């Protein structure tokens, strides 16, 4: 079946257009010139831009793959013997197909079977000529991530080589390459992975003069996090091959592929923790990380600073035994550098010499991995990303994207929800710096009062607040709490006055909930009334509900009542506050301020989407992928609407997504 890339609808294989949204399934739009290009074409026929879907095919000869393990208690897999096809004895040439279904076209010549005999195999680029077709691997696994360790080598035609990728899929860690497809045939095991060959290599970052000591520490810290993740799968060798270490769009460490098993067989093995002769291979320890780090310094001719020299020496001498201890030491070094060279000050040679004298000893020399090095200088330290939580540097927005959508739902005949988005973005880019100035106003209202009531109230609230902040948000900073509260009061008064003029009474009085987000650069303000919600999602903390519903159940909990008792009341979900039904002296909106210090996805929703813990249950599948810059927010918000219609559907559904990405302030102030 064909999966529509826009709406994810499942279509028959022979359809040229999506049955649900009408999107072409045999063509795509060139991102450079806008012409239609066939989905099975690698490049645009007009401008030459790459339009096709390209994967990296990792290919290993079946009888060369050593047993591997998944998890601590897993059984060893036995390689499946497959009769070798005669055609694999000679190279597969450019433009031929890797698979029998003729879906994956080779963009490079594939070596013959003799050249595939190495334990780690070879990698070649392939073009997906049927990118909207569900993959055989997805079909075999049924969309799940089974425990292949209990299946004796896979499910159906799933190759043992794919087991670790599938097992790690649930971790949703950006550093692990996601698996796209996999099979075994003609004496080969094949796994298709995301093509990360064009991503910046870690060594390139090391060799840049602008790279700071804190950025180096950040990379080290991320390596320790990946090490912990890979240990149960005997895949720590993946961190020992320098050419395998890449950086994603957020400058976070990522792996091109996984190396499972014996580190001796890496193309350019750095660690000496390997087997000797017939001796059993000893498990890798974090000492191997220290040797990789030392090698990185030597490859880039970068001067090692005092505290780092001592850390490498302690690793070599087995004085640091666990990743947690190593992370703690890295955090201490980061804090020390931050204290001695704060971002707001200009460093000088006296400051550097002072720190080195404290760290390096009298002779300024430390021996690491058998090499004596002189610790004679420190780079300027001005940056680090958010994955090293003990180091706090000033952050600034690097991008801001948003999308919103509303839907009537499956049971209502009219939509009482309304939302508004208003942004102003100014970018100044120079050869050595880039500054983004942002102001964003995001409003979501869920009306009440029936037809010609609820939708009137919600739209009136949105428009009143937009107009209010046009004249009350003029300075280059967020409005004060009092200014924001007065804006909410103005919206309340506008609806209240309409109720009075129409002589509405009782349940006939219209009103609306409100949740509102204001962003100025990396500063945030949140105001809300009622049970529409704001969530925020970060990689470190996951999904968090920011607002607390203004309803009877939450009021009772705040008074000390047990939640089970509070929500046993028949009126537990009755609102205690809303805009419009009452005068402003009965209104007390919540207003809070915070900062964006890491990449964050803000999610404004009405209760048609938040009911029944829908987001709490599905955030990993429907929200987490949207944190990355490549995540399509327009498509993501539509998927949320579809999700709510599938599991709720009893009410109107509205969602507004805001993706804020940040980076450290690298430039020293004048």
Q: What is the C-alpha separation between 321 and 6, in angstroms, rounded?
A: 48
pLDDT (tens digit, 9 = 90+) per residue, 134-189? 888 887 776 444 444 333 334 456 788 898 899 888 777 888 999 999 988 877 88
For residue 324, what pLDDT is reported? 87
Are 145 and 240 in the same domain?
no
Are 63 and 128 in the same domain?
yes
Q: What is the CATH number of the domain that holds 476?
A: 3.60.40.10
Q: Does residue 77 sit within a domain?
A: no
* Domain housing 336: 200-374
Question: Pick the residue with more confidence: 284 or 264?
Answer: 284
Tokens describing residue 322: 């666990």
For residue 54, what pLDDT is reported? 93
For residue 451, what pLDDT is reported? 62
Q: Does residue 227 sit within a domain?
A: yes
Of 241, 296, 275, 271, the C-alpha closest to 123 is 241
Are 284 and 226 in the same domain?
yes
CA distance to 336, 345, 548, 597, per residue, from 668 (Å): 19, 7, 40, 18
Q: Does residue 606 sit within a domain?
A: yes
Least trusted range by pLDDT, from 244-258, 304-318, 479-493: 304-318
pLDDT band at 568 (very low <50, low <70, confident <90, very high): very high
Handedness of CA 16, 19, 20, 22 (dihedral sign): positive
Are 157 and 245 in the same domain?
no
Single out the residue in 194, 218, 241 at which a domain terminates: 194
Q: Which residues contact 295 (CB under 8 A, 6 or more apart)?
A: 242, 270
Are 186 and 236 in the same domain?
no
Dihedral pair phi/psi, residue 159, rounded to 5°: -75, 150
Instruction: Kindly tell me the number of DSSP H helices and DSSP E strands found in the chain.
Output: 15, 25
Are 173 and 296 in the same domain?
no
pLDDT (tens digit, 9 = 90+) per residue, 488-536? 999 999 999 999 888 887 777 899 999 999 999 999 999 999 999 999 9
Q: Does residue 190 sit within a domain?
A: yes
Are 149 and 214 in the same domain?
no
Are 56 and 101 in the same domain?
yes
Q: What is the CATH number of the domain that holds 273?
A: 1.10.510
Q: Does residue 360 sit within a domain?
A: yes
Are 361 and 499 in the same domain?
no
pLDDT (tens digit, 9 = 90+) per residue, 437-462? 899 999 999 999 766 689 999 999 99
Q: Does residue 8 sit within a domain?
A: no
Q: Does residue 528 sit within a domain?
A: yes
pLDDT (tens digit, 9 = 90+) per residue, 333-380? 877 776 655 443 333 333 333 333 333 344 444 343 443 433 333 233
Are 546 and 529 in the same domain?
yes
Q: Does residue 421 sit within a domain?
A: yes
Are 148 and 207 in the same domain?
no
Q: Give per-residue burial for 87-123: e unless 16+ CB within 10 Å, then b.
A: ebeeebeeeeebbeeebbbbbeebbebeebeebbbeb
Q: How many domains does the chain have?
A: 3
Are 162 and 215 in the same domain?
no
């Amino acid at each position: 079946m064909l999966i529509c890339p826009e709406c994810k609808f499942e279509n028959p294989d022979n359809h040229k257009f999506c049955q649900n949204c009408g999107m072409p399934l045999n063509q795509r739009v060139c991102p450079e010139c806008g012409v239609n290009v066939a989905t099975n074409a690698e490049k645009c026929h007009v401008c030459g831009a790459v339009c096709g879907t390209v994967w990296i095919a990792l290919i290993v000869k079946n009888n060369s793959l050593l047993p591997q393990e998944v998890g601590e208690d897993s059984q060893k897999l036995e390689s499946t013997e497959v009769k070798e096809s005669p055609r694999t004895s000679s190279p597969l040439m450019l433009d031929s197909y890797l698979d029998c279904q003729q879906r994956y076209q080779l963009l490079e010549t594939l070596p013959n079977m003799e050249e595939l005999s190495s334990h780690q195999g070879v990698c070649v680029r392939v073009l997906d000529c049927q990118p909207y077709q569900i993959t055989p691997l997805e079909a075999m696994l049924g969309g799940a991530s089974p425990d292949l360790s209990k299946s004796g080598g896979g499910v159906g035609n799933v190759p043992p080589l794919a087991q670790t990728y599938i097992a790690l899929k649930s971790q949703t860690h950006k550093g692990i390459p996601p698996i796209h497809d996999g099979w075994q045939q003609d004496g080969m095991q094949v796994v298709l992975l995301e093509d990360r060959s064009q991503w910046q290599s870690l060594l390139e970052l090391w060799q840049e003069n602008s790279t700071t000591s804190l950025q180096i520490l950040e990379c080290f810290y991320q390596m320790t996090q990946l090490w912990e993740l890979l240990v149960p799968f005997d895949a720590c060798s993946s961190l020992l091959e320098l050419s395998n270490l890449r950086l994603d769009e957020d400058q976070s460490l990522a792996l091109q592929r996984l190396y499972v098993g014996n580190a001796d067989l890496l193309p350019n093995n750095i660690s000496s923790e390997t087997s000797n002769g017939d001796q059993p291979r000893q498990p890798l320890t974090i000492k191997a990380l220290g040797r990789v780090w030392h090698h990185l310094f030597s490859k880039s001719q970068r001067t090692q600073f005092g505290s780092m020299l001592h850390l490498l020496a302690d690793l070599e001498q087995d004085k640091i035994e666990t990743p947690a201890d190593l992370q703690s030491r890295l955090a201490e070094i980061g804090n020390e550098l931050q204290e001695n060279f704060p971002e707001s000050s200009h460093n000088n040679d006296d400051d550097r010499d002072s720190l080195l004298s404290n760290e390096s000893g009298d002779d300024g020399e430390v021996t690491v991995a058998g090499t004596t090095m002189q610790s004679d200088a420190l780079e300027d330290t001005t940056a680090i990303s958010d994955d090293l939580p003990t180091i706090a540097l000033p952050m600034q927005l690097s991008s801001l994207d948003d999308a919103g959508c509303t839907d009537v739902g499956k049971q209502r005949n009219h939509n009482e929800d309304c939302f508004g988005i208003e942004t102003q973005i100014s970018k100044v880019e120079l050869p050595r710096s880039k500054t983004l100035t942002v102001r964003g106003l995001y409003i979501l209202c869920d009306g009440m009062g029936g037809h010609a009531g609820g939708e009137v109230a919600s739209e009136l609230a949105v428009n009143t607040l937009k107009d209010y902040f046009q004249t009350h948000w003029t300075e280059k900073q967020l409005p004060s709490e009092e200014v924001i509260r007065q804006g909410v009061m103005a919206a309340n008064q506008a609806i209240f006055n309409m109720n009075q003029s129409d002589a509405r009474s009782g349940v006939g009085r219209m009103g609306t909930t409100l949740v509102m987000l204001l962003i100025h650069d990396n500063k945030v303000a949140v105001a809300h009334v009622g049970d529409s919600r704001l969530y925020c999602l970060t990689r470190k903390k996951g999904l968090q509900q920011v607002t607390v519903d203004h309803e009877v159940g939450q009021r009772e909990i705040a008074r000390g009542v047990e939640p089970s008792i509070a929500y046993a009341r028949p009126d537990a979900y009755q609102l205690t506050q809303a805009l419009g039904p009452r005068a402003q002296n009965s209104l007390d909106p919540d207003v809070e301020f915070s900062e964006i210090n890491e990449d964050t996805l803000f999610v404004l929703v009405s209760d048609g989407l938040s009911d029944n813990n829908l987001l709490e249950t599905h955030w990993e599948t429907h929200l987490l992928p949207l944190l990355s810059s490549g995540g399509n927010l327009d498509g993501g918000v539509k998927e949320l609407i579809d999700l709510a219609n599938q599991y709720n559907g009893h009410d109107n559904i509205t969602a507004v997504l805001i993706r804020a990405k940040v980076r450290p302030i690298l430039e020293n102030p004048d």
